[in-house]
Structures are given as C-alpha cells and as structure tokens.
Amino acid sequence: MSNVPILSLQNVNAHYGAAHVVQDVSFDVHDEPVCVIGRNGMGKTSLCRAIMNLDPPTAAGTILLDGEPINGKPPYVIARAGVGYVPQGRKLFQSLSVDEHLRMIKTPRVGRWNTAAVYDLFPRLAERKKVSATQLSGGEQQMLAIGRAMLLQPRLLVMDEPSEGLAPRIVEELVETLKGFVNEGVGVLLIEQNLGVATSVAERLVVMVAGTVFTETTSTEISNSPELQQRFLGVTPTGHQ
Amino acid sequence: MATSEVGATAEIVPQAGPRVRLSRGTVFLLVVLALAVLGIGLQAASDVTLFAQITLNGLSLAGLYFIVASGFTLIFGLMRVVNMAHGSFYMLGGIIAYLIQERMLNPDPTSFDLPQATLSSFLIPLIVSMFSVALLGVLIQQIFLRWNQGQELRQALITIALSIIIADQAVARFGGIAKEISVPVRKSIELPIVGMYGTMRLVMLLVAIVVGVILVLIISRTRFGMIVRAGVDDRQMVTALGVNIQKVFAGAFFLGAMLAGLAGVLGGAVNSVNKSDDGKFLLISLVIVIVGGMGSLPGAAVGAVLLGLIDSYSDVYLPDSVTNYGVLLTFFLLVFVLAIRPYGLFGRPA
C-alpha cells in the first residue's frame, strides 16, 4: 500500500440550502476498496455528488486525488483527473444508443480502456450496440454506466448503489467485475445498502449516520453481528425491516 | 329492433379492450380541425393552381421558419435558455447583409431598390453576415448568460433587454423602411401546375432542406451531436463524464445564432429586411418549439411546416371578414397540440 491515498476526504461538508447533509466527513481510500454504508437519507449520495462537485449540494472541504486537490474544480476536470462516476439510477441518456454512450467520451490516449475493451468486458453490450439505452435491462444499463466511466481511465471509481434493482445473479457478476477492477489497481469507493455486496467487495466499511461518519467497521465484524446490522442498516439477518 | 341493436353495441364496446379516451375539448378541437381540412379541400378542388401556389408558399415559408427555429430549439433544449434575442439575430442577419451589399453595389441614389447582385455580391454579404451574427451570439452567451446558468428568468430578462437595445439601434442606423436584399437570380421561373413562381422562394426551401440534412447529420453522427443530445437529457451527467459543457454551449450558441443570421438574409431577399422582424420571428420560433417539443429537430421541422401552411392557407382561404384574425389560428394550433401532447409533438419531459 502506497503512502499517498488514492482519495483523501478532509472535513468535507455539503449543504442543500440550509440542510447540512454531509458534516465534516474525513476518510482515505487506498488501494483497498472502501464501502460506505448507511440507511436512506444519511448523506451517502450527497457525499458522491460532493466528490464530483455536482451542484446541488454545495460542497466544501478538501478532497485530494493522489495527493492533488480536486475540490472546487468543475466536474469535468475532476472526471478527467481520474474519478469515474457511476451514479445512482445509472443516469444513462435516453437519446443515445449504447455505442454512442461510449463514443461521446473523450478517452485519454494512455491507459488500457477504450471502446473495444469495454465491449470485451461486457460482450452483452457489444451485441446491443445500436440499441437505445432505455431498452437495456437493468444489468445491461449498469454495465454501460460502468463501461463509460472506465473510458476515462479512472484512478478511482465512485459507485453509488450499483446493485440497486438488479437480480441476484447479475449482482454476483457485478461483484466479480468490481473485484477485477480492484486487482488492476483501480481505487473503488462504493456506496451500498446491500450488505451482501458491500461485504463481498470491501473489507473496510464506513458507516454514515445523519451526514457524519459514525464509525468504521469491517466486513468480518458486521457479518457476524446481527446487532450491528440492525443498528447501521436497520436490517435483521433474515432481511426484514 | 334497431334500438335494441344500438343498445347491445353500447354495452359491448366498454368491454372490447382499451379505448382511447378523448376529453370534450379534444373532440371539439378534432372537429374544428376536420372542418378546416374539409374547407381547404373544397376550395383546393375549385382552383388547383392557386392551391399549389399557396402550398408552395407555405412550404417555403416553413423552410424559413425552420432555419430560424432549429437554432432556437437547439439552444433551448440544450441550455434551457429562452433566448429572447433570437429574433434580433434574425433581424441583424438581414440588416448586416443589406448594409454590406449596399456598399458593394453602389446603388443609384435616386432609385429605391438595389441593382441586381452578382453571385459574389450576394454570397459575400450572406457569409459575412452569418458569421458576424454567430460571433455576436457567442459574445452574448459568454458575457451575459454564462454566469447566470440555471437562472431562467434572469436570462430571459437579460435577452429581452438586449433585444430592445438591438431593435432601437437598428431603427437608428438602418431606418424604419423595409428594404430588399438583391439576389443574383431571375425573379421568377416557370413551374409545372404552379406557373410562374418566385425563384428565391424555391432557393429558400432548398436551403432549408440542406440545412435540415446537415443539422441531422451533425446531431446524429458527430461527437458534438451526441454530447448535445446527451446534454438535452441530463447536462450534469455529461459534465461528470469529463465533457467541458461550456465549450459545447458556446458551440450551440454559435450554430443557433448563425442559422438565425442565415435565415435573416434569406428572408430579406425573399420578402424584405424589416425593423419589426425581430419580434415576429421570436414569436414564430417560440410557437414552433412549443409545438414541436423543445430540443427536437424533427419537432422544429414539423412545427415549421404546420405554421407555414396555416399562415399561407389562412391568408387566402379564410372568408374576407375574418382574414385579419388568421394569426389567431397559430395559437389555435398551439392549444391543440398542448391539449393532446403537453410536451410538444416530439418532446419529452426533461
């Protein structure tokens, strides 16, 4: 593990008007993936948007990517600096085909990712090149959202609830894909409510409650503790609320 | 027997699968539309030449409307900027071209009209005017609109203010009299069925088709076009994918203003360059974009054709006593489209 973290959040705050949704959040992401867990409305998505400097919320604080400050820069600069963003709900463009989603992105010359590499990783997308993104299945949409983020040769992938609404078998594929990225040295910051996905991708879990980092825990610890699961996520081991 | 049959069908119909439910208003509008088509049809049958001429008039007018409105819809759809100065771009296009052409042709001071232009004394003013208006559009976007992104009311008010300033300056420097841009072609040519017809009107229709094809190619094939379409859907996500959308915005404004300028020159050659064109063409662009759906090129084309034909038919086919109310039909079209498709014919919720 190198000394300079891939991503370093230092006292990051975010506001929606008067609502203080992210409060003094600080943690680092090294080569090992980190997963942020927490119930709905705890500021997880706002944290992602703050990293990308998407407005709203209004973000403040220091955010370092490989030691270089990226906070306050326009989203496109942050993306080009190496943050691949896979937003909640995929946010594909309904007017674009699968292929156009990939071709609209200016891929940096150096790096292993290009359109062909994305199609290699996700052969299903290659079969559906000309199809409008709206006609893809949930799993295919997620593949496309990940594929286009990889075209920026990211140092770090910020993924907001990628497993949401996907079938269990597709979620397993997704987990394998993410592990592949991690092995290639891409940093992963994952936001998840699905504890199964969180624990199988990341060992280190950051728990957010009411906009703050409540505590950090590990997958091993939380998997063995129904009490912690109930406290942090409001789920019982059988999955009932 | 007959009554029982009617009763029976009335009972069966509700169970016969999903039916289109029409509100009373829609039915009323459909009836009016049917009457209008019937009226035009009857009159058309009585004089085919006149009908062909008016239809061609309507289509060439639609061409002009399309060139103006395509730029407007591009800017509106992508940037959510209601550019109230778009009509001014149209007017300036005509004025700049006329003033350049006047210098080039050295007109006889006693004559009101310019002498006939050569190809170069038409094309040079056209091109210079187009690019001047395009640059002005980018300047306005960069100086006045860029720092107000998302503040739609503010942007609308700023562009209204600019259009008033431009209009006053136009009157001061150009004068209030409509003037015609001189063209390097014969006034009219012989067509089958239609008879003698204005050459420039046909040229205008042709240019509109070429512009439409080029725009469709740009939007559907180029990276710029993909980003524009993606930007109409979700601007923020586009920036989060490493695209500097400010450049794209400037490009869209350049293109939109250039098209308005081009239309201004063509309109000035077919009809005249007129100081009141700015308001007229702004209104037309707004109606077309609302009818067609914002950000949609096919929508702009269909809206332009509808508006052009309505303008043209209502001028001739309405009874004399109500001809002056022809302009109201435009708004009738608006109400009709909004009643059945609130986002416009080709529009979708943003």
C-beta of residue B26 within 8 angstroms of C-beta of residue B340:
yes
Of A85, A93, A100, the CB nearest to B234: A93
Domain count within chain B: 1
Show the tokens assigned to B83: 């550019």
Question: SS3 of A25, please?
Answer: strand
pLDDT digits (tens, 9 = 90+) for B119-177: 999 999 999 999 999 999 999 999 999 888 888 899 999 999 999 999 999 999 888 88
For residue B4, tell me if it sits in a domain. no
Give SS3 for A154.
coil
pLDDT at residue B11, as a whole number: 45
* ipTM of the complex model: 0.91
Domains of chain A are 7-233 (3.40.50.300)
Q: How far apart are CA A173 and CA A111, in angstroms?
A: 24
pLDDT at B13: 45
How far is A63 from A27, CA to CA, in rounded Å?
Answer: 10
* Yes or no, beta carbons of A105 and B242 under 8 Å apart: yes
CATH number, domain containing residue B40: 1.10.3470
Q: What angle do CA B70, B238, B216 make, to 5 degrees?
A: 30
In this complex, do A79 and B227 lie within 8 Å of one another by their Cβ atoms? no
Given this model, what pLDDT does residue B154 score?
94
Nearest CA in chain A to B229: A95
| Distance of alpha carbon A73 from alpha carbon B55, whole angstroms | 55
pLDDT (tens digit, 9 = 90+) per residue, B175-227? 888 999 999 988 889 988 888 999 999 999 999 999 999 999 999 999 999 99
The secondary structure of residue B273, as a DSSP letter, is B
Neighbours of B176 (CB within 10 A): 10
Interface of B with A (CB under 8 A): 223, 226-227, 229-230, 232-234, 236-237, 239-245, 348
Distance from CA of B90 to the nearest CA of A (A): 29
Could you tell me the residue range of the domain that residue B330 belongs to? 24-340
Q: Residue A107's closest chain B neighbor by CA?
A: B242
Is 60 exceeded by the pLDDT of residue B267? Answer: yes
Of A54, A80, A106, the CB nearest to B236: A54
Q: Average pLDDT in the B325-343 region?
A: 86
Of A54, A76, A103, the CB nearest to B242: A76
CA distance A42 to A44: 6
Per DSSP, B179 falls in state B
Beta-sheet strands, E only, within chain B = 188-191, 195-198
**In this complex, how many residue pairs, one in chain A and one in chain B, have their CB atoms less than 8 Å apart?**
64
Q: How far does A59 lie from chain B, in Å, by closest CA?
A: 15
Residue B328 has pLDDT above 90, yes or no: no
| Interchain proximity B242–A96, CB inside 8 Å | no
Q: Is residue B13 part of a domain?
A: no
Residue B8 within a domain? no
As a whole number of angstroms, the distance between CA B342 and CA B25 comes to 14
What is the structure's pLDDT at B21? 67
Q: What single letter denotes the amino acid at residue B140?
A: I
Q: Is the minimum CB–CB distance between A76 and chain B shorter than 8 Å?
A: yes
Are residues B241 and A87, on separate chains, in Cβ contact within 8 Å?
no
Least CB–CB distance from B241: residue in A55, A94, A148? A148
Taking the C-alpha atoms of residue A14 and residue A50, their distance in angstroms, rounded to an integer, is: 7
Residue B17 located in a structural domain: no
Q: What part of A 1-60 touches B (C-beta under 8 Å)?
A: 52, 54-55
Q: What pLDDT score does A236 carry? A: 53
Task: Tell me how far apart the alpha carbons of residues A82 and A150 are, in angstroms, rounded to a whole number.
Answer: 9
pLDDT at A185: 92
Predicted confidence pLDDT, tens digits, chain A (241 residues): 457 999 999 999 999 999 999 999 999 999 999 999 988 888 999 999 999 999 889 999 999 999 999 999 999 999 999 999 999 999 999 989 999 999 999 988 888 899 999 999 999 999 999 999 999 999 999 999 999 999 999 999 999 999 998 999 999 999 999 999 999 999 999 999 888 899 999 999 999 999 999 989 999 998 888 888 888 877 655 544 4
pLDDT band at B315 (very low <50, low <70, confident <90, very high): confident
Residues of B within 8 A of A158 (CB-CB) are none
Rounded CA-CA distance B298/B208 in Å is 13
Quick one: closest CA in B to A98, which residue? B226
Subunit contact A79:B244, Cβ cutoff 8 A: no
Q: What chain B residue is nearest to A49 in terms of C-alpha separation?
A: B240
| Disruptive mutation site among B227, B238, B241, B246 for chain A (greatest number of A CBs within 10 Å) | B241
Dist CA B190 CA B227 (whole Å): 45
Contact A96 B237 (CB under 8 A): no
Amino acid at B168: D
Could you report the per-residue pLDDT of B272-308, keeping only the tens digit for each?
999 989 999 999 999 999 999 988 899 999 999 999 9
Per residue in B34-73, pLDDT (tens digit) is 888 888 888 888 888 899 999 999 999 999 999 999 999 9
Nearest CA in chain A to B150: A55
The band of B8, judged by pLDDT with boundaries at 50, 70 and 90, is very low
Say how far apart CA A115 and CA B45 lie, in whole Å: 58
Top-confidence residue, B8 or B279: B279
Nearest to A36 by CA among A171, A239, A204, A238: A204
Is B58 a member of any domain?
A: yes
Interface test with A, best of B78, B151, B218, B237 (most A CBs within 10 A): B237
Question: What's the gap between Cα A195 and its chain centre?
Answer: 15
> Is residue B11 in some structural domain?
no
Contact B237 A87 (CB under 8 A): yes
Please check whether residue B346 lies inside any domain of the structure: no
CA–CA gap between residue A55 and residue A69 (Å, rounded): 18
- Tell me: pLDDT of B82 over 50: yes
User: Which pLDDT value is given to residue A2?
Assistant: 56
Q: Is A113 on the interface with B (CB under 8 A)?
A: no
- Please tell me the distance in Å from A146's CA to the nearest CA on chain B: 11
Residue B14 has pLDDT above 70, yes or no: no
Residue B1 has pLDDT above 50, yes or no: no
Give whole-number Cα distances, A159 to A191, A215, B46, in Å. 6, 20, 68
Q: Chain B within 8 Å of A87 (Cβ-Cβ)?
A: yes
* Residue A227 in tokens: 């009490």
Whole-number Å distance between alpha carbons of B188 and B198: 4
DSSP string covering A29-80, please?
A: E-SS-EEEE--TTSSHHHHHHHHHT-SSSEEEEEEEETTEE-TTS-HHHHHH
Q: Is the pLDDT of residue B10 over 60?
A: no
Are B348 and A100 within 8 A, CB to CB? Answer: no
Rounded mean pLDDT of chain B? 88
Q: Is A228 on the interface with B (CB under 8 A)?
A: no
Kindly state whether residue B259 falls inside one of the protein's structural domains: yes
Q: Which residues of B touch A100 (CB under 8 A)?
A: 226, 229
Partner-chain residue, chosen from A55, A74, A93, that has the shortest CB–CB distance to B233: A93
